[in-house]
Amino acid sequence: MSDQSVTVQLTCVADANQRAWLTLRVTRHEDPRQVQIDIDPGLAVRSDPTCFLHPPNDSEAKILKSDLVGGVLMARKQLGKIGFTVRLLTLGGSDGDEARVTQISSVAFAVGAHAAVLTVLGDANQRADLIGGFGWKIAAIEAAG
């Protein structure tokens, strides 16, 4: 069972002033039926040292959660039948000097979640293909045990 925290930083292709970042803890399970996704955008934003003053409201958090879960499920489809747990630890973003997650397109967080899961659970080829998507490029990926 592997367990890693992964921080993914992204930059908008159209506007380099827009940045997004997230940290996920990803744990592999031997049972492919065991999939747990623990995503709470409000809590994750409050845990971010940059964006904690501006958590999303309930409707914004639902949209963020939907895109984050979508990114995790895209990774699972790419990986095949594999069991894992994903927990969102931090979530942040900024548009220039304004550090506010809600100023960033939520699809950026789907791209980040997808990359984080593949970083921990994917093979070398899947990890090599991580460049971003949907108008967002991956600026950095940092994995910690």
Cβ–Cβ under 8 Å, residues 42 and 61: yes
- Domain limits, the chain: 3-144
> Which of 36, 32, 10 shows the shortest CA–CA distance to 21?
10
Q: Hey, how many other C-beta atoms are within 10 angstroms of the C-beta on 63? A: 14
CA atoms within 13 A on the CB side of 32: 6
| pTM of the predicted structure, to 2 decimals | 0.93
Q: How buried is 65 (Cβ within 10 angstroms: 0-12 exposed, 13-18 middle, 19+ buried)? A: buried
* Domain spanning 3-144, CATH class: alpha beta
| Residue 86 scores a pLDDT above 70 | yes
Unique residue bearing structure tokens 């803890």:
25
Residues 6-47: tens digit of each pLDDT: 999 999 999 999 999 999 999 999 999 999 999 999 999 999
